[in-house]
Amino acid sequence: MTNKAKPIKLIALDMDGTLLMDNHDVSKANRQAIALAKEKGVDVVICTGRSLMACQDYADDLELNSYIVTGNGSEIWHTSGQLIERNLLKSELVNMMWELRNEHKTNHWAASVDKVWKNEMPEDILNYEWLKFGFDTTDNDARDVIFDLLSKHPELEVSNSSLTNIEINAVGVNKAVAIKKLCSFLNISMDNVLSMGDSLNDMAMITEAGLGVAMGNAQEIVKESADWITYSNNEDGVAHAIHKFVLNA
């Protein structure tokens, strides 16, 4: 399996279920592979549904010196701390989803520009700037109803980061769109990108990258869409793919 003989110049890594083991640590093998890729001149970019507050320490610890894509593409940051781009989710839509959450009695989280709200919301939702909203429930029927309803909304981008949740961004906001913008900054093409992930919020970047890799623990639909399947997040899957397609290429 090759990516049309295009050299990899950017590695886009999802965090949970991909870069991180289930204990939320980065394995020694993953650390070493990332360091070697950087030595080779490859940009390594965390591309996550998390907020910057929840991933900055990992980027610092790995000594990444490129960009960070957060909130599924709602924000692009430089590792220096500079905000490059922000794509907001209308507060009226967040209010609608909050009401939907209460109707179906699910757990939820919502990211405003300065805080992540978990199973609580401010009284004045309409006065905040929002990036993302998420539902989480083990009630399959409730989740299916919410997913189907929101997927039909023309202003929403709907995905997930696990089998029990739903993640919502403004329409047109996803990891692939963000990576394309990074490619323009770096003067490379998507053919030069290796993307790795495990969930629906990784699908776009996996299918649109020159080389899309699904984790061994990925959702089946993600595996079916990928160019290649690596080991699981607990088995150094990221390192395995980097060695195969970047270091030994």
Please state, in angstroms and rounded to a whole number, the distance separating the CA atoms of residues 213 and 189. Answer: 17
The encoded tokens of residue 22 equal: 């289930």
CA angle 221, 248, 219 (to 5 degrees): 10
> Residue 214 carries which DSSP code?
E
221 sits in which H/E element: helix 220-225
Cα–Cα distance for residue pair 124/106, rounded to 1 Å: 21
Q: How far apart, in whole angstroms, are the C-alpha atoms of residue 183 and residue 178?
A: 9
Q: Do 210 and 188 touch, CB atoms closer than 8 A?
A: no
Instruction: Give catalytic residues, as residue numbers.
Output: 14
